[in-house]
Amino acid sequence: MTGGGHEEIELGDAHAARLRSPSASPPPPPLSPTDLKQQSQPLMDRFLESLPPPAHFAVLASCVFLFFGAHNYLQEGISRMEGFEGLGSMLGYLEVVGVMVCSFFERRFVGENVRKVSFKDYMQLTACLLGSSYLSTVGLNYINYPTKVVFRSCKLIPTMLVALVVNKEIFSPSEILSALAVCLGLILFAFADMAGDSKVSTPFGLALQGGSVVADAFLPNLQQALFKKGASTLEVTYFTNLYVFLIMSLLGAGTGQLIGVANFVWTNQAGAISLVLYTVVAYVAISFHMRVVARYGSVAAVLLGNVRKAGTIALSFLVFPKPFSMLYVYGSLLVLGGLTAYTYVKEARR
């Protein structure tokens, strides 16, 4: 009896020691849905969420300007390379391929494997994207450059109208006036920068360009609607470019341009590196653009795009000196003033 009692005491002491040991500590509490969502976010999103609202917008806007500027620079450089003549339209196709591949691997890296939005919703977005690109390209054959600039500069207005109908957004008079100021400023910038154009615009060309602008206005609003349905920026980026890639591959299979690009890459090492860099930069630029749409809405994304265009014109003025015009001054005041006012009003309403 005595021995058995000592054995029980020893067993009990050993059991208590194991309970006290670190290896036997209770399991950690389960993560909340918010914690799980944060863990599945890309590192850039976690960093941006840690910033105060003004800094958050400033970082996004700066990245949009920087990477789209690099994108445009590379696009221009590649199109001028020897051996790439007549293949300029393939840059858009290669950009789609690059963005599709990069977003595929990033989705796998963050553990995102489920599509949250229906195929039908993505088809609407894909149709608008292809329609905008096709109508704009064909329409250039029937309108002059100043007319094209006016149409593209005023894209912000139909974007606000579509946002009002599709996403039920309400805009204050201050936001509307700010948007009009940015549009007018960009038009002044463009007219000061361009030479005369004697080409006459036709009603058919105006109709095509108008259709392109309307389709373009739907794009960020449809993206914003998908975000509201639970889709991530990675999901929207990947599936939109996947479907665009499939359609463009079917339409362009018989043109022979794919073979021309393959020959260019095979015979021009510098060109091949430039194309890879171009697609990666395009992916980064589009990723930041999608974050702007997801966080600040379609109108803010188009507004930033307009300001970026004005910055591109200003940069070209500095790099390639040309006669000075007061239109640059007036355009700058309108664009920067409109953007500042819109940002202030938007942040005040958040």
pTM: 0.67
**What dihedral angle (degrees, nearest 10) is formed by the CA atoms of 52, 178, 146, 93?**
30
Helices 257-267, 90-109: inter-axial angle, 10-degree rounding: 70
How many whole angstroms from its chain centre is CA 282? 9
Structural contact between residues 175 and 345, judged by C-beta atoms closer than 8 angstroms: yes
Q: Which residues contact 170 (CB under 8 A, 6 or more apart)?
A: 164
Give the Cα separation of 277 and 269 in Å (integer). 12
Give the Cα separation of 344 and 53 in Å (integer). 11
Classify 282 as helix, strand or coil: helix
Give the Cα separation of 57 and 294 in Å (integer). 12
Give the Cα separation of 195 and 191 in Å (integer). 8
Give the Cα separation of 161 and 155 in Å (integer). 10
User: In whole angstroms, how large is the CA radius of gyration of the chain?
Assistant: 27
**Structure tokens belonging to residue 25:** 């500590």
Give the Cα separation of 348 and 172 in Å (integer). 12
In tens digits, the chain (350 residues) has pLDDT values of 444 444 444 444 444 444 444 444 455 454 444 444 444 456 677 777 777 777 888 888 888 888 888 887 888 788 778 887 777 667 788 888 888 999 999 888 888 888 888 888 899 889 888 888 778 767 767 776 556 666 766 777 788 888 888 777 787 888 788 878 877 877 776 666 555 455 566 788 778 888 888 888 888 888 888 988 888 888 998 999 999 889 888 876 656 677 888 888 888 888 889 899 999 999 998 888 888 888 887 777 877 777 777 676 666 666 656 566 677 777 777 777 777 777 677 666 66
